[in-house]
């Protein structure tokens, strides 16, 4: 522990005002994008968490689906919270639960055509927004990766 504390103190001493400005700007850029994303999801009739779940299922499960445990891991949720989210998605007819053909003990979450249509439209909107605002966060990330 003493080594970690000394290392942390050393890192703090190396921070410059420019570093704090850059970190604050990066955090703000993330918050601006997240705020946009949540508003876009609501406008499309989806709670933001459901939009994130659909994207995780599509992005990480492709056409094969993912387990509730995988969904929890991707969204950084507790398992029981992901179960509730999956239940709401099933009730909304956005997701179906199907047995895994390779392992009948596992149940996979896959998107319905309704979910795929909503996700396609939302993702296109998100990509436009990202392209419009990407230069600033990218510049900040490059600054962090180059060091000082």
Residues sharing a CB contact under 8 Å with residue 35, sequence separation 6 or more, in sequence order: none
Q: Is residue 83 part of a domain?
A: yes
> Mean pLDDT score of the chain, rounded to an integer?
90
Q: Is residue 1 part of a domain?
A: no
pLDDT at residue 148 greater than cutoff 60: no
Q: Is residue 6 part of a domain?
A: no
Residue 53, pLDDT score: 98
Q: Is residue 9 part of a domain?
A: no
Q: Domain count of the chain?
A: 1
Assign residue 41 the CATH number of its domain.
1.10.10.10
- pLDDT > 70 in the chain, percent: 89
Report residue 134's pLDDT band, with 50, 70 and 90 as the boundaries: confident
Distance of CA 63 to the CA centre of its chain: 19
What is the domain range of residue 50?
A: 18-146
Residue 7, pLDDT score: 59
pTM assigned to the model: 0.84
CA 145 – CA 148 distance, rounded (Å): 9
Give the model confidence (pLDDT) of 45-76 as tens digits: 999 999 999 999 999 977 789 999 999 999 99
Q: Is residue 7 part of a domain?
A: no
- pLDDT > 90 in the chain, percent: 70
Q: Is residue 8 part of a domain?
A: no
Q: Is residue 13 part of a domain?
A: no
Q: Is residue 10 part of a domain?
A: no
From 11-15, 24-28, 94-98, the region with the lowest mean pLDDT: 11-15
């Amino acid at each position: 522990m003493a080594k970690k504390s000394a290392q942390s103190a050393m890192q703090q001493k190396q921070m410059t005002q420019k570093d704090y400005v850059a970190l604050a700007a990066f955090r703000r850029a993330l918050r601006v994008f997240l705020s946009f994303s949540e508003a876009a999801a609501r406008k499309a009739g989806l709670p933001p968490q459901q939009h994130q779940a659909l994207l995780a299922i599509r992005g990480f499960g492709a056409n094969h689906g993912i387990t509730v445990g995988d969904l929890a891991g991707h969204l950084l949720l507790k398992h029981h919270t992901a179960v509730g989210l999956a239940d709401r998605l099933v009730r909304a007819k956005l997701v179906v639960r199907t047995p895994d053909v390779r392992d009948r003990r596992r149940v996979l979450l896959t998107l319905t055509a309704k979910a795929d249509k909503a996700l396609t439209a939302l993702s296109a909107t998100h990509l436009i927004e990202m392209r419009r605002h990407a230069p600033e966060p990218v510049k900040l990330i490059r600054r962090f990766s180059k060091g000082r």
